Amino acid sequence: MATKKNRRGRPTKLTPEVIAKLEWVFSIGGTIAEACRHAGISRTVYYEGIKRYPEFAEKFARLQEQMILEARNTLSKGVKESPRLAQSFLSNTRPHEFGKDPNNYSPADFYWASAQERKEAIEREGWVERLPSIN
């Protein structure tokens, strides 16, 4: 962060204490809203802070990704030890191979890398998108 000599105007609200609170929430997989609430700052202050100090944005993103990697590692270990967890994992990640009735799927049942890929699969498979009804 810049020193007081170089900066004019209001002092930053991203104090070392606030940054430590943000880091803690991100390290346990928390969202930006949760981190801001825990740190006692608004999301506006957060976004202005990471705009001013991009190194914080990179650090916060790495912390959030670390939690996902740890969860994947735990899942990987669990799948090796539990056939039930393995079946659940496969039926959720590859429903067309390990799920229920393969004729009862919609585009919402799959992960798509892009909107274009999704559109092509819908056309290729002849699916009709099931949209939620509004009553």
Whether 94 is covered by a domain: the verdict is no
Instruction: Please compute the mean of the pLDDT values over residues 26-47 and round it to a whole number.
Output: 93
Whether 112 is covered by a domain: the verdict is no
Instruction: Please compute the mean of the pLDDT values over residues 64-77 and round it to a whole number.
Output: 87
pLDDT tens digits for range 80-96? 888 888 888 888 888 77
User: What's the domain range around 37?
Assistant: 16-81
Tell me: pLDDT of 24 over 60.
yes
- pTM to 2 decimal places: 0.54
Grade residue 7 by pLDDT with cuts at 50, 70 and 90. low
Contacts of residue 21, Cβ cutoff 8 Å, sequence gap at least 6? 35, 38, 39, 40
Distance in angstroms (rounded) separating the CA atoms of residues 88 and 97: 12
The total number of structural domains in the chain stands at 1
Q: Is 36 exposed, middle or buried (0-12, 13-18, 19+ CB in 10 A)?
A: buried
Residue 129 amino acid letter: E
